[in-house]
Structure 1
Amino acid sequence: MDVVWFAFFALLLIGYFALEGFDLGVGLLLPVLGRTREGRDRMVAAIAPYVLANEVWLVAVAGTLFGAYPALEGKVLFGLYPVVVAMLLSWILRDAGLWFRRRVDGPRWRGLWDGLIAFGSLGLSFGWGMALYAAATGFAASPVNPVGLMLGVVVTLLFAWHGWTFLAWRAPGGFGAARPGRALLVSGAAAALPAAGVLAGAMPYLVEHSAPAATLNVLSLMVLPFAPIMLGAQVWVWRTFRPGKDAFRLPSFF
C-alpha cells in the first residue's frame, strides 16, 4: 500500500507541475508578450478556464503529503518555513490579480494587478525550484544557496516556455506562433521533469516514512474513489475549452 500511495503522490505532483506550470508560465510572460492591455486580457482569457481546475492538484498534493507522510510535516513546514510563506503569499497575490484586475476599468488598476500576477507567478515558480532542491537533500540543506537558486531559475524558465507553448496551442497565431498538441505535451513533460527527478531519487525515503498500513488503508477508502472524478473533471475542462472554443472570451470571475 505504501508503494501505491507513493505512485499516487508522484502522479499528483507531476500533474501539478505539468498543468499549473503553463498557468504560471503565462503569468511570467505577461510583461513580455502582453505589451498592450488587450494583449494581457487575451493572455489571461487563455488560461482562465484552467486555473481553478489546475489548482485542485496542489490542494491534493498537500493533503496527500500530510496524510500519507505525516512524519514529514514538521520537516516541510519548519525546514522550508521562509520558502513556504513566500510561496503562499505569491499564490495569494497571483490569484488576487486574476480576480480583481477587471473589477475597475482603468489603466493604473489593471497595471497594478497585472504586475502582481507576474510577480506572484515568479515567486511560485522560483519557490518550487528551491523547494525541490531542499527535498532532494532531505531538507538537510538550506534552499538559499547557489544550487537551490539555480534550480529556481531552471523551473522558472521551464514554466515560461510551457506557458508560451500553451498560448501558441490555445490561440494559434494570437501571439506570433502556433503549436500542435504534441508540442504542448513535450513542454509539459519538460516542466514536470524536475519534480519527476526529485521523486525518483526520494522514492526509498518516502516509502520508508509512509504512514502505518492501517492509516493508509483508511485513506484509500476515503480518497482514492474520488480520484476518477477529479481526473474526469480535468478531461472535461480540456475538451470543453480546446483551441477554437472562445479562446479569448474572459469568464466573469476573471
Structure 2
Amino acid sequence: MDLTDVWFAAIAVLWMGYFILEGFDFGVGALLPVLASGDTERRVMINTIGPVWDGNEVWLITVGAATFAAFPEWYATLFSGFYLPMLVILLTLIVRGVAFEYRAKRDSVRWRRGWDRCLIAGSIVPAVLWGVAFGNIVRGVELDARHDYVGSFWDLLNPYALLGGLTTLALFVTHGAIFLALKTEGEIREKAGALALKAGFVAGMLVAGFLVWSQFHGGSGVSIALGVVAVVVWALAVAAIAVGREGWAFTASAVAIGLVTVTLFAVLYPNVLPAVDPANSLTTTNAAATAKTLRIMTWVAVLFLPLVLIYQSWTYWVFRRRIGVRNIPAGH
C-alpha cells in the first residue's frame, strides 16, 4: 500500500467521523418540530448539541483540506462539477450556525421561531444533499478527457442518488433520536426512544436497499461483506433502543453509519470519481498530489490528529450528563 492508498483510507475515515458526529447534530435539528412541545423542550434539545456541534463541523473542514492537498484533481473536479449543491450545503450550514448563536439574542417568540426554522432547514437539507452527493460519486458522472464535469445539475438528481439522500436523512434522524434518548430525561427521552425505534426500521430498509444497489456500481467481496455487517449492526442498534439501552444503541448506530461510509468507499476504490466513460475516471493514482506532498501530510497528521481526538474526547466527557427541562432556568 502506497501513500495514495493511505490517504484515500484517511479521507474515508474523516468522512466517517464527520457523518457519525455531525449526523446526530443534523438529526436533533431535524427533530425540533417533532419532539419538542414548547420552547423549553426545544432549548433542552438544542442544549444537548450546543457544546459540541461546532467541533463536529471541524471534521468537514479537515476532510476538505485533506482532499485538496492529497487529491487536488479530485477536489477541483468535485467542487466545480457539484458547485450548486455544495453551495446550498454551505449556505444552509452557515444559516444553521447563525441560528445556534442568535436564537437567544432577543426575548421574542417570533424571533426564536424564525431561527428554529433556520435550524431545522439547516439540518435537513445537508442531511439529504450529502447522500445525493455520495450517490453520484459512487455511481459516476459525466467527465471529459480533461476530467471536467460536463453533465447538468439535473443529471445529479438520478434515482440512485435520491435514494442515497433519503438514506442519509433517515440514518441521521434515527441517530439524532437515539442521541436525544441518551442525553435527555423525562418526556423528551421517552418520545425520542419511541421515535428512534420507528425511524430505525425505515432507515434499516433504506440502508439495505441503497447498499445493495451500490454493489452494482463496482462492488467487490470486501464491499459486500462490509455492507452486510453494516445492516446487521444497524439492526442491533434498533434492538438496543427497543429494550432501552440507549448507550449501546448509540454506539451501534455510530458504528453502522461508519460502516456504511466505508462500504461506499470500498465500492469506489480505486476510483475517487468514476466517469461514465471509464477512460476519463479519476483514480487514486491520476488524481493524487506528489509523493513529497503526501509524505509531509502524513507526518503532520501523525503529529496533530491525536491532539484533536484527545481534545474532542475531553469535550464529550465534560458534557456527558443528561439534561432536562429542570436544567433550563425560568424566563429568557
Q: Which residue of 2 aligns with 1:200?
A: 266
Match of 2:17 among 15, 19, 22: 15
Q: Which residue of 1 aligns with 2:248?
A: 182
Unaligned runs of 5+ in 1: none
Larger Rg: 2
Q: Which residue of 1 aligns with 2:308?
A: 230
> Is 1:105 aligned with 2:107?
yes
Percent of residue pairs identical: 34
Q: Which residue of 1 aligns with 2:182?
A: 169
Greater CA deviation, 180-189 or 26-35? 180-189
User: Does the aligned pair in 2 maintain the 1:168–1:174 contact within 8 Å?
Assistant: no
C-alpha distance after superposition, 1:105-126 (max 9, x if no partner): 1110000000110001111101
Rounded Cα–Cα distance in structure 2 between residues aligned with 1:90 and 1:192: 24
User: Does the aligned pair in 2 maintain the 1:169–1:243 contact within 8 Å?
Assistant: no
User: Does the aligned pair in 2 maintain the 1:90–1:124 contact within 8 Å?
Assistant: yes
Rounded Cα–Cα distance in structure 1 between residues aligned with 2:266 and 2:324: 37
Q: Which residue of 2 aligns with 1:60?
A: 62
TM-score (norm. length: structure 1): 0.91
Rounded Cα–Cα distance in structure 2 between residues aligned with 1:182 and 1:213: 42
Q: Which residue of 2 aligns with 1:36?
A: 38
C-alpha distance after superposition, 1:98-155 (max 9, x if no partner): 1111011111000000011000111110110111011102333732122211211111
Deviation, 1:70, is: 0.5
Deviation, 1:174, is: 4.5
Give the 3-state SS of the residue equivalent to 2:269 in structure 1.
helix
The AA in structure 2 aligned to 1:216 is: L
Deviation, 1:185, is: 1.2
Q: Which residue of 2 aligns with 1:146?
A: 159
The AA in structure 2 aligned to 1:217 is: R
The AA in structure 1 aligned to 2:55 is: A
User: Does the aligned pair in 2 maintain the 1:24–1:159 contact within 8 Å?
Assistant: yes
The AA in structure 1 aligned to 2:79 is: L
The AA in structure 2 aligned to 1:241 is: F
Give the 3-state SS of the residue equivalent to 1:49 in structure 2.
coil
Deviation, 1:193, is: 4.2
RMSD (Å), alpha carbons:
1.8
User: Does the aligned pair in 1 maintain the 2:185–2:324 contact within 8 Å?
Assistant: no
> Is 1:241 aligned with 2:319?
yes
Deviation, 1:179, is: 4.1
TM-score (norm. length: structure 2): 0.71
Give the 3-state SS of the residue equivalent to 1:210 in structure 2.
coil
Give the 3-state SS of the residue equivalent to 2:131 in structure 1.
helix
Unaligned runs of 5+ in 2: 143-150, 194-243, 273-283
The AA in structure 2 aligned to 1:227 is: L
The AA in structure 2 aligned to 1:110 is: R
